[in-house]
Amino acid sequence: MARTWAIAGVDLHLELTGTRVRAALESALREAVRTGRLAAGTRLPSSRTLAVAEGWLTARSGSGTRVAARPAVPTPSAVPSPLALRPAHGHDLRAGSPDVSMFPRTAWTAAARRALQTAPPQALAYGHTCGLPELRTALAGYLARARGVHADPERIVVCAGFAQALGLLSRVLRSRGATTVAVEAYGHPQHAEIIAAEGLRARPVPVDAHGAVIGTPADALLLTPAHQFPLGVTLAAHRRTEAVRWAHETGGLVIEDDYDGEFRYDRQPVGALQALAPEHVVYAGTASKSLAPGLRLAWLVLPAHLLEEVTEAKRLADGHTSTLDQLTLAELVTRGDYDRQIRRCRLAYRRRRDRLTAALHREVPHVRVAGVSAGLHALLTLPRGTDEQDLVTRAARRGLALEALTTYRRPSEADTPEPYGPALVVGYATPPPHAYTAALARLCATLADRR
């Protein structure tokens, strides 16, 4: 028997089992509190309406019945909490996150308000699997203009981050009989895991000064052409041509992960590879660097032959991405606030990049800095023989989180010599502005302390 009580506009739903209502109620409440479904402080119906299970609830005259505070019960889980991934104290110069304090709260709130005021009720019903037409149209215009993408709104699928997009693509490739995705020998560790989780083999290909080496036999090739993650090189023009030729000749699919393509500083803008062969290249963009990773908003521009299957995979995965967030982003893009945000961040990150390179040059000239003409991270190459891991440990003792290049290495089965020496990947966008000076000082102190 299920019962629902409405308290101050909040429903309390409990599953009651058995015929003795008081005992069933007590047990259902205990279970709801124990599992955390009812948090400490949750307002409940009065104890007259509800049989109070002693110890689990508190009743105070005038303030109603509430769930009593109790010590937190650790939930067994092999997966670390996402919050555990970033240190609560200290400084963080690991790559991956932009400065989330630069999120355009005012513009986002105004866009959300406008979107809600003008959207018909139907906009809040189950929506289009591929994404709302408003957002797909806005994105198509933006991507064509800012990144040179051949973007037709009908070819766009809005996803919950690139992570989901890559999972959907992998699933579709697998269902078509694919077995292997070539990935750059250095990259985001999660992406190779996502590919593997869908039953495909991620086969690393070398990356040199011209970007990924093209030609490894595979069903698909995942690239970061504008700014290789994390080495920072740009895929050279001849490699772009080779990638497209490879796709034409083998029928392989190129997946272009354009995660930070908007952030370029003192080099010519590099347009999307997708424009060279829209029927062979999937373009993938994300709001994780330009706005915030917590939004979980990304977009694919697909070749016609993949559209139906990717849409079906998205439908099965989660129906569609949050309508409200899509409407808000559509407003932001249409009104120019998204461009303003990019410009503001580009300027701020460029200043940070300049401060980083100047400080390293001045304080630790033995460290070589690369990959800084674009993006939000730098590659710091250390003298031969330096123990990367030891540096990371010493930085941690100074309250600074750093990451070694080896964290991003995807070892290849071919016993190729390691082309990159000891290095650190420094995400200079991550700290909030007030913490950047201190983070830089700790970085330089750690690097200067050569033992």
Applying CB under 6 A, which residues contact ligand PLP?
A: 96, 161-163, 188, 224, 229, 257, 259, 286, 288, 293, 298
- Beta carbon nearer to ligand PLP, 192 or 447: 192
User: What residue is closest to ligand PLP based on CB?
Assistant: 161
C-alpha angle 143-149-155 in degrees, rounded to nearest 5: 85
- Rounded to the nearest whole angstrom, what is the least distance from the CB of residue 222 to ligand PLP in the complex? 9
Say which residues have a Cβ less than 8 Å from residue 252's Cβ, sequence separation at least 6.
Answer: 218, 219, 220, 221, 246, 280
- Rounded to the nearest whole angstrom, what is the least distance from the CB of residue 439 to ligand PLP in the complex? 19
- Rounded to the nearest whole angstrom, what is the least distance from the CB of residue 176 to ligand PLP in the complex? 23
- Beta carbon nearer to ligand PLP, 28 or 93: 93
- Beta carbon nearer to ligand PLP, 188 or 203: 188
Distances (CA, A) of 125 to 129, 132, 139, 230, 320: 12, 12, 22, 40, 11
- Rounded to the nearest whole angstrom, what is the least distance from the CB of residue 100 to ligand PLP in the complex? 12
Give dist(CA 153, CA 57) in Å, integer.
53
- Beta carbon nearer to ligand PLP, 164 or 386: 164
DSSP H or E segment with residue 353: helix 337-363
Say which residues have a Cβ less than 8 Å from residue 309's Cβ, sequence separation at least 6.
Answer: 172, 175, 176
- Beta carbon nearer to ligand PLP, 222 or 306: 222
- Rounded to the nearest whole angstrom, what is the least distance from the CB of residue 142 to ligand PLP in the complex? 16
Give dist(CA 272, CA 293) in Å, integer.
22
- Rounded to the nearest whole angstrom, what is the least distance from the CB of residue 159 to ligand PLP in the complex? 8
The end-to-end CA distance of the chain, in Å, is 69
DSSP notation for 355-372: HHHHHHHHH-TTSEEES-
- Rounded to the nearest whole angstrom, what is the least distance from the CB of residue 287 to ligand PLP in the complex? 7
- Beta carbon nearer to ligand PLP, 224 or 311: 224
- Rounded to the nearest whole angstrom, what is the least distance from the CB of residue 1 to ligand PLP in the complex? 43
Give dist(CA 371, CA 234) in Å, integer.
9
Determine how β-strand 403-404 pairs with β-strand 423-427: antiparallel
Say which residues have a Cβ less than 8 Å from residue 444's Cβ, sequence separation at least 6.
Answer: 359, 360, 363, 364
- Beta carbon nearer to ligand PLP, 288 or 326: 288
- Rounded to the nearest whole angstrom, what is the least distance from the CB of residue 161 to ligand PLP in the complex? 3
Alpha-carbon 109 to chain mean position: 21
Give dist(CA 376, CA 451) in Å, integer.
29
- Beta carbon nearer to ligand PLP, 96 or 252: 96
Alpha-carbon 331 to chain mean position: 22
Report yes or no: 425 and 227 within 8 Å, Cβ to Cβ.
no
- Rounded to the nearest whole angstrom, what is the least distance from the CB of residue 24 to ligand PLP in the complex? 44
Give dist(CA 240, CA 348) in Å, integer.
30
- Beta carbon nearer to ligand PLP, 311 or 430: 430
Report yes or no: 225 and 240 within 8 Å, Cβ to Cβ.
yes
* DSSP conformational letter for 400: E
Give dist(CA 407, CA 323) in Å, integer.
36
- Beta carbon nearer to ligand PLP, 129 or 288: 288
